[in-house]
Amino acid sequence: MLRPEDPGHVIVRSDIDNRLKTLFDAPTRPQHPQDVPNNWSSGPDEDPLHCLLDDDSLIKSVSVRTDRLLAPANEAHVKLIMRVAIQTTVVFGGLMLLR
């Protein structure tokens, strides 16, 4: 997570926990109709529309490294470089199988 703040201000000035919550919510399938803006519709290249997560409670681990964003930006801007490992889970006869 590249931020326009000085090094060492992760806890003092930054709101890392809310930024991470927003990050986890973004690729998650909407659970309720109010989770989708009223005027939103999928584009021609979004049919079918895929979501990375069914539920953000399925996230098993997170590691965050922060550094300073050197490009001009306001305090609210961050640049994220994400590496995601996806593991599917199948329940078969009461056993959970990881793929």
Instruction: Report the pLDDT value the prediction gives residue 10, as an integer from 0 to 100.
Output: 57
Instruction: Report the pLDDT value the prediction gives residue 19, as an integer from 0 to 100.
Output: 76
pTM of the full structure: 0.51
Alpha helix ranges (H) inside the chain? 16-25
Q: How far apart are CA 16 and CA 20, in angstroms?
A: 6
Sequence-distant (6+) residues with CB within 8 A of 95 are none
Instruction: Report the pLDDT value the prediction gives residue 9, as an integer from 0 to 100.
Output: 61
What three-state secondary structure class fits 42?
coil
What three-state secondary structure class fits 88?
coil
For 48, the token pair is 């079918």
Owner of token pair 């329940």 = 91
Residue stretches of the chain with pLDDT short of 50? none
